[in-house]
Structure 1
Amino acid sequence: MTDMLAQRIPWGAGRFCRAFIAAVCLMAGHAATAAVYELVIQGGRVIDPETGLDAVMNVGINGSSIQAVSAEHLDGQSVIDADGLVIAPGFIDLHVHSQTEEGYRLMVQDGVTSAFEIEVGTADVDEWYAQRSGGQYLNHGVGAGHIKARMIVMDDPAESLPTGPGAWEAATQAEIDEMISLLSEALERGAVAVGMGLEYTPAASDREVLQVMELAALHNASVHVHLDAGLEGLDRAIALAARAGGSLHVVHVNSAAKSLINQYLARIESARDAGLDVTTETYPYGAGMTRIESAKFSNWASWPDEEFGKFQWAETGEWLTRESFGARRSEGGIIIHHARTESMTRTAVTHPLTMIASDGFIESGTGHPRVSGSFSRVLGRYVREEGRLTLPAALAKMTIEPARRLEARVPAMRMKGRVQVGADADLTIFDPQAVIDRSTYDEPARTSAGIEYVIVGGRPVIRKGKLIEDARFGKGIRAPAPDATVGSPTPLELTQRN
């Protein structure tokens, strides 16, 4: 009966229908026991942030989907004993740059089952997914990147973030038209959202930003923005998103706001109260990381001497001085910026508006600990040790809220971030008394503790805390092509609206 209901009631029919199905599972245990599931997770504390379910249950999985959530016994061809463990939706990271095997290996051991590169994104969606088509440890997706499109159109010579015309030259309308064309193609090929880095492209005019946001709105895509500095940058982004009639996602609000974190969050809350679709995210660390040669630090020569002592060269851990900062900037590379207090971090992590996203990057063991520890750090430090978040509230920030941010454009996300009949079997099973991050700024590639099992597409990738090396069940997550009758706007159409 439960399986029939799951098939007949569309997933998009809303929370009530899904909650009804879950209730049927509880009441119809006799039906569930008649089946033998491919995998059963037995006797764990199931937390489903969407319906509020928080109880000791059994979960039955066939193929890549959840087929039963029941208090009654379930028979399985394979059984995981989850006594004393929490069964949660797999964690969804909306903002991570380590879209490599090394990064996926570390992230899945932190409980992540879906990871997205949106802020920087790509200008070639097909190529991005093709590079990862051989099988990965977790699900993955990419956004249409304004930074990348601007670098191509403006002929910026940098490989990563712009350092030349892509950062510093104002675009003509013809050049904006070229960017819109590239971004339109990326969206038509399934980019999950649009990414912008306004602090890295300071020459991008309001007109340019508005046209990108209007394009995103036409494709039902959220725009994930790295703000330029100060409250003025936030106000600008909110105002332009409102003019475009679009959806704005402010990335790493803690990094953008620093000591202004309370004011930033209040501004976002006011925008939401006014009916605007504005969301935000944070990572649970006091230090950020970026490229030293980027436009973000263009005014470095005017800083007081003590400011340079907040920076570490990621590769060696060296603390920088005015002289070494200048030398490293000429060289180019990754730095860690210790810019915030623990109080600022705690405010961002525990605020009801924020999701958790790592903004992680690591390469050959060099990077930031957030790529391998963000989610376990929240669960271990801010939930268990400090009691500043309840476990269901923390899990909502990692699962259902990021799923909802993308699901209007990406139907596949309606099946993720849930422990419900019919949902994708992407699950993280952890010990709430042991989960904690172990990565540090000196050892960013240390894996988290307490993540006992991770299920991706219905099959274990982590078993008893150990990575299964050949368990590459992750898939690319893409948006469907837009309705052919709608089509993409021409550059002229966008221009005429301004």
Structure 2
Amino acid sequence: MKSLTKSKPLKTFLCLFLILFLVGELKAQSPVQYDIVLEGGRVIDPETKLDAIKNVGILNNRIAQISSEPLQGKEIINVSGLVVAPGFIDLHVHGMTNVEQEYQLHDGVTTALELESGIEFTGAWYASRQGNALIHYGASVNWPFERFRSMEKYQESLGQLLELVQKRENNLESLWHIVAPSFTEVLTAEEMDRTLANIKSSLEEGGLGIGVPIGYLPSTPPDEMYSVFELAGQLDALVYTHNRYPDILSIQEVIANATLTGAPLHIVHLNSMALGQIDFALHMVSAAAQKGYDITTELYPYTAASTGLMTAIFNEGWQEKLGIDYGDLQLVTTGERLTQETFARNRRTNQTVIIHLMKPEWIQKGIAAPGVIIASDGMTYSKLAHPRTAGTFSRTLGKYVREDKVIDLNTAIEKMTLLPANRLEGIAPMMRFKGRIQVGSDADITVFDPKTIIDKATFEGGLAFSEGVEYVMVNGTFVLKNGRTVPNVFPGQGVYGKFKNK
């Protein structure tokens, strides 16, 4: 009996321990309450190939759980019947204010980047966008501007440009009016050295590689262009090119520069660079990639291009080079088609036009080609601006997936999310957390109805919000809810290059 009495405290202790252990286990197994739960949607992740009905839990701006089991949340959104996809990533936009960004978010875009041309005064521009962007933003270093500011004769114009950037009023028009006089200048050796130093300095301010729109500076000597590629190769900095001319030789030029220097290369809007030779152009890009060269391309899903009339694209002989005439040019201010007389008058003021020059089958071939990224080349705001400014991604999903069946839904999502994220990971490591629906990824999410999504902007009627995009989440915050813009939220953050000084 004594032994039993002595063992009572031990039994009591063991019982208390067991109770405490069970309570701890219950607490450990109690459901997590997420900030937001997207419930019952068709979740598509292009990297893991997940395509299933799941619940997605968002916590602290990241995807924290993907489960078939019910999840608890402070806010639960029923998205049954809708696709839950990574937020669309647009590598090629020119309109970078919230006016354009609202059209972009209605098109499902969560990250919009100016990489073809880049931005003047890179650091000042990034600073001007902090805290008031609807979606994520970023830009490459603007090579035409960096060569412009290497020349002593243009120094007085720098203050004017900087003021525009700080006011967030910089756009293509300001660039052409102020910087364009330098486009035909041949750099001295000293100016070339300063240009390369300027590029490196702007990369250290956060630039996402080097924007090389040589198509607007076609008289640039090949050796200058090669030197820029050499610098990119040395730094492993991505080059984005609008090629010298819309022809195969110009595509071969940039591929040759990239392969010889080791520079990673992204050729923008291959559809308007190759025109009727898009099969050959796609073959060259694919062959280079298969041989291990870091070369990619993109296109937009429309048969028309757009730019200013004062640019070199419309230098003498443009009709023959492009295979079009005056009537194929549409003025964005009025929608009118041009004549020889109105072309001359509007060129003096560098009016923007829509250029009808491509065939539908060229676009279909580009969209269907493996590895080709979808990017908008969206323009600065004008009511009659090119519809790609507002409808690129919804058009891809509505017309080319649902209606024409050129590609399937999963492939289209990959071309708009994972492929652009992968393209940028070498220059912007933070992109590893975008373009995916995975635990730990950024909560940049687009939810859309695959049965109704479609672009509504047209060449005749102008810009309009796309339909079928129901929710857009940027950094864990809704900026679009039930198809409507959420007022007074600005969760967009800067996407910076790897060279940025800390």
| Secondary structure of the structure 2 residue equivalent to 1:423 | coil
What residue identity is the alignment partner of 1:465?
A: G
Structure 1 Cα separation of the partners of residues 324 and 357 of structure 2: 12
Other-structure match for 2:174: 159
Please show how residues 198-277 of structure 1 align to structure 2 within 5 Å.
Answer: 198-229=214-245, 230-277=247-294
The reply on whether 1:54 has 2:51 as its aligned counterpart is yes
1:135 positional shift? 1.8
1:383 positional shift? 0.5
| Secondary structure of the structure 2 residue equivalent to 1:449 | coil
Structure 2 Cα separation of the partners of residues 240 and 225 of structure 1: 11
Structure 2 Cα separation of the partners of residues 301 and 408 of structure 1: 37
| Structure-2 change in CA distance of 1:447 and 1:301 (3 Å) | closer
| Secondary structure of the structure 2 residue equivalent to 1:455 | strand
The reply on whether 1:179 has 2:179 as its aligned counterpart is no
| Secondary structure of the structure 2 residue equivalent to 1:183 | helix
Structure 2 Cα separation of the partners of residues 136 and 144 of structure 1: 20
Greater displacement, 238-247 / 277-286: 238-247
| Structure-2 change in CA distance of 1:160 and 1:366 (3 Å) | farther
Please show how residues 1-16 of structure 1 align to structure 2 within 5 Å.
Answer: none
Q: Which runs of 5+ in 2 are unaligned?
A: 1-26, 158-172
Q: Give the root-mean-square deviation of aligned CA atoms.
A: 2.1
Please show how residues 384-403 of structure 1 align to structure 2 within 5 Å.
Answer: 384-403=402-421
Residue 384 of structure 2 contacts residue 459 of structure 2 at CA under 8 Å; is this kept in 1? Answer: no
The counterpart of 2:61, out of the listed 41, 51, 64, is 64
Residue 60 of structure 1 contacts residue 66 of structure 1 at CA under 8 Å; is this kept in 2? Answer: yes
Please show how residues 57-456 of structure 1 align to structure 2 within 5 Å.
Answer: 57-154=54-151, 159-161=174-176, 164-229=180-245, 230-300=247-317, 307-456=325-474
Greater displacement, 70-79 / 206-215: 206-215
| Secondary structure of the structure 2 residue equivalent to 1:83 | coil
What residue identity is the alignment partner of 2:476?
A: G
Structure 2 Cα separation of the partners of residues 78 and 281 of structure 1: 37
Residue 107 of structure 2 contacts residue 392 of structure 2 at CA under 8 Å; is this kept in 1? Answer: yes
1:445 positional shift? 2.0
1:219 positional shift? 3.0
| Secondary structure of the structure 1 residue equivalent to 2:497 | coil
Structure 1 Cα separation of the partners of residues 355 and 205 of structure 2: 36
Other-structure match for 1:18: none
1:482 positional shift? 6.1
1:311 positional shift? 0.4
Residues 397-443 of structure 1, C-alpha deviations (whole Å, 9 max, x = no match): 00000001111121110000000000000000000001000001133
| Secondary structure of the structure 2 residue equivalent to 1:168 | coil
1:344 positional shift? 1.1
| Secondary structure of the structure 1 residue equivalent to 2:141 | strand
| Structure-2 change in CA distance of 1:353 and 1:36 (3 Å) | same
| Structure-2 change in CA distance of 1:478 and 1:145 (3 Å) | same
| Structure-2 change in CA distance of 1:302 and 1:482 (3 Å) | closer
Which structure has the greater CA radius of gyration? 2
| Structure-2 change in CA distance of 1:376 and 1:301 (3 Å) | closer
| Structure-2 change in CA distance of 1:301 and 1:79 (3 Å) | closer
Structure 1 Cα separation of the partners of residues 279 and 132 of structure 2: 42
Structure 2 Cα separation of the partners of residues 82 and 363 of structure 1: 32
Residues 207-235 of structure 1, C-alpha deviations (whole Å, 9 max, x = no match): 21222122223333210000122111011
Structure 2 Cα separation of the partners of residues 364 and 289 of structure 1: 12
1:31 positional shift? 8.3
Aligned length: 455
What residue identity is the alignment partner of 1:466?
A: R
| Secondary structure of the structure 2 residue equivalent to 1:477 | coil
Residues 354-408 of structure 1, C-alpha deviations (whole Å, 9 max, x = no match): 1000000132424111011000000000100111111110000000000011111
| Secondary structure of the structure 1 residue equivalent to 2:325 | helix
| Structure-2 change in CA distance of 1:188 and 1:458 (3 Å) | same
Residue 205 of structure 2 contacts residue 501 of structure 2 at CA under 8 Å; is this kept in 1? Answer: no
| Structure-2 change in CA distance of 1:210 and 1:451 (3 Å) | same
Percent of aligned positions that are identical: 38
1:182 positional shift? 1.3
Structure 1 Cα separation of the partners of residues 221 and 359 of structure 2: 33
| Structure-2 change in CA distance of 1:266 and 1:469 (3 Å) | same
| Secondary structure of the structure 2 residue equivalent to 1:161 | helix
1:300 positional shift? 4.7
Residues 111-160 of structure 1, C-alpha deviations (whole Å, 9 max, x = no match): 00001001111231111112211321100001011122233335678832
Structure 1 Cα separation of the partners of residues 249 and 200 of structure 2: 28
1:236 positional shift? 0.7
What residue identity is the alignment partner of 2:338?
A: L
1:110 positional shift? 0.3
